[in-house]
Amino acid sequence: QVAAIDYAGIRNALKALLEADSRLAGVRVYVEEEPQMGLSDVQKALAIFTDNRQATDREQSLSAGKRTRYHMRTSIWTVYFDMSSYLAACDGRDGVLAQLELVLMDNRTISGKVTDSWLEGGDMFSARDAQSSTFVAAAETVLVAEVSAISP
């Protein structure tokens, strides 16, 4: 049995999982694209980016040459736009971020697409778009998933 890693399938399952969960109602989900500052129809968004994959020696089994286990790193950026203040944008971001973490913790296999997954934190920032006077706050959630490729 040959089993290649279905990277697109993992991203699509992650998007579907986030869009289907009522805790993230009203949050727009982007895959491998960035939400633009000042969009009138988007106040809160999640942006999913596949960052890298690593296969360390200690993670490989005795079936070396037949199976490769990777740790696939995906960044999920929680982005929140607000017209009133940095604080309002940060508070909105933090609320969406908390719900995102709960959704991910409740589905460690991303609907059966990965063996296991865990969260590793990430960066946070806030900024103001001088042209539109929109405040934005963003937080990165690094999701690491264990995936395998199997050769006959």
| pLDDT tens per residue across span 95-148 | 999 999 999 999 999 999 999 999 999 999 999 988 878 899 999 999 999 998
DSSP readout, the chain?
A: --B---HHHHHHHHHHHHHH-GGGTT-EEEESSPPPTT-TT-SEEEEEEEEEEE--GGG--TTTTTEEEEEEEEEEEEEEEESS-HHHHHHHHHHHHHHHHHHHHH-TTTTTTSSEEEE----EEEEEETTTTEEEEEEEEEEEEEEEEE--
pLDDT tens, residue by residue, 42-57: 789 999 999 999 887 7
pLDDT tens, residue by residue, 71-80: 999 999 999 9
Is 61 or 8 the better-scoring residue by pLDDT? 8
Q: What is the pTM of this model?
A: 0.89
For residue 59, the model assigns a pLDDT of 62
For residue 96, the model assigns a pLDDT of 98
How high is the mean pLDDT of the chain?
89
